[in-house]
Amino acid sequence: LLQIDFEDVIAEPEGTHSFDGIWKASFTTFTVTKYWFYRLLSAIFGIPMALIWGIYFAILSFLHIWAVVPCIRSYLIEIQCISRVYSICIHTFCDPLFEAIGRMFSSIRATVRKEI
């Protein structure tokens, strides 16, 4: 939430201060003006903005439920079929090749000697 205090807007640095009466009057004016203008703007624009945001989130929910999720699920179903075909191709062509290469190099032995 956005919360703006008087000190956030009007901040007198150390060593520079106005009279206490001016500071208190400024603080009161700022606080009361912010409070009442917020109420006024809420009264004027609150209901129209609530209507606009309600429509926006209704559209967003509708699209998510009726378009996005079905498209994603359909995509996952299609990908599952393609992944099975891909897996069969890999096991058919690549597995024998890599197994043969592995058997060729399986007889190689490496020994590490440390000579002093």
Residues 35 and 33: their CA atoms lie apart, in Å, by: 5
pLDDT of residue 11: 67
pLDDT digits (tens, 9 = 90+) for 76-113: 998 998 999 999 999 999 999 999 999 999 988 888 88
Chain center to CA of 13? 38
Question: What is the residue extent of each domain of the chain?
Answer: 24-106
pLDDT of residue 82: 92
pLDDT of residue 14: 67
Question: Exposure of 30 by Cβ count < 10 A (0-12 exposed, 13-18 middle, 19+ buried)?
Answer: middle
pLDDT digits (tens, 9 = 90+) for 15-57: 677 777 887 888 889 889 989 999 999 999 999 999 999 999 9
